[in-house]
Structure 1
Amino acid sequence: MARESRARLFKGRGDSDERTLVRVRTHGKAVFVPILLALLVASLAAALIAVLPPEWKPIATWVTIGAAALLVLWFSVRPFIEWFTTSYTITTRRVITKHGVLNRYGHELPLSRIDSVGSERGIIDRMFGCGTLVFSTASERPVVLHDVPQVKDIEGLLADLIYRAHRDDQD
């Protein structure tokens, strides 16, 4: 039912020829450090439990496990869930970003409103083949998309689409 409603909305606006070109999740490097932190916390908790005096064992063991679990949840599981729920979609007419765990947030930016597109890539980003896309518009502050995989290819695709969108607007 929802797809049919959306399809009718697109047809009503004359956008029936809109196609999805790219749909990506942020690069996996975004969860690399949280995974390392989870391993480090688990190792430290195990080492601490191993050296606890025997008279402290029952209570101190559970306190250590609880503290380690909270740290892993906050610094590892939460970033993983945020990574998993963040996506970027590029269609022939717009750029769509979605993120959020409990509350879903989305932003749609028509290609005709984008003035320029650029990318930023540090040394780590270049090693992983990802980077940050930056869109400039006349009326808004720049839109920044972090950890975009294959950022150079997507930047080139967007530059072509934006050029066509502006050319079509002038015709």
Structure 2
Amino acid sequence: MALFLVCGATGYFFGNLREDWQNTALVVAALAAIVLVWLLPLASWLNRRYTITTRRIIFRHGFFVRSRQELLHGRGYDVTVRQTWLQSAFRSGDVLVNSGLEHPLVLKDVPSADLVQQVLHDLMQESQTVIGSRRQEQSALADQPPGAGR
């Protein structure tokens, strides 16, 4: 949206200003506005990667310095969706995953944010069920006398 506004205003005013230096300053200001308002946020958005598997969430981000965070579903966490009015119009939003450590993991501008929240809850619940059944199996094996299972 900002790109269209800057281009439209530049196209309207370019050539209508009295001095040549004013037209040049207009183009330079328009290019600076495009870089600051559109290009840098786009590059930042493109350098964030979220991978959700059946076992964990992997979050990679950074432009010059790359960081990687992993969060296992089995450890449990709280999932919250935060939407601005513009995000809710496009059914996107920020998904906050709070595991109780430091700052929550923020998945920014996620399409279908409500669906992502529901899937994360399902994956967490399924992982907890698998962990619970493994613990029951281990305790049953520990309760058997030595040599009984052979």
Q: Report the TM-score range of the alignment, normalised by the length of the smaller protein.
A: 0.7 to 0.9
Instruction: Give the CA RMSD over aligned residues.
Output: 2.2
**1:96/1:68 CA distance change after superposition, 3 Å:** same
Paired positions, count: 133
Q: 1:76 matched to which residue of 2?
A: 38
Per-residue CA deviation, residues 107-150 of structure 1 (Å, 9 max, x unaligned), is 21111223322323454433322222222223333222222112
> What SS does the corresponding residue of 2:44 show, helix, strand or coil?
helix
* Deviation of the 1:89 alpha carbon: 0.9
* Deviation of the 1:39 alpha carbon: 2.0
Instruction: Map residues 80-95 of structure 1 onto 2, 5 A cutoff.
Output: 80-95=42-57
Structure that is richer in helix per residue: 1
Q: Percent identity?
A: 26
Q: Is the 8 A contact 2:15 2:23 kept in 1?
A: no
Between 1 and 2, higher relative CO (CA 8 Å, sep ≥ 6) is seen in 1
Say which of 30, 38, 41 aligns to 2:3. Answer: 38
Q: Is the 8 A contact 1:113 1:138 kept in 2?
A: no
> What SS does the corresponding residue of 2:15 show, helix, strand or coil?
helix
Q: 1:128 matched to which residue of 2?
A: 90
Per-residue CA deviation, residues 139-166 of structure 1 (Å, 9 max, x unaligned), is 3332222221122222222112111222
The separation in 2 between residues aligned to 1:52 and 1:122, in whole angstroms, is 38
Report the TM-score when normalising by structure 1: 0.66
Q: 2:15 matched to which residue of 1?
A: 50
Higher-Rg structure is: 2
Answer yes or no: is 1:104 the counterpart of 2:69. no
Q: Is the 8 A contact 1:114 1:135 kept in 2?
A: no
Where does structure 1 lack aligned partners over 5 or more consecutive residues? 1-35
Q: Is the 8 A contact 1:115 1:135 kept in 2?
A: yes
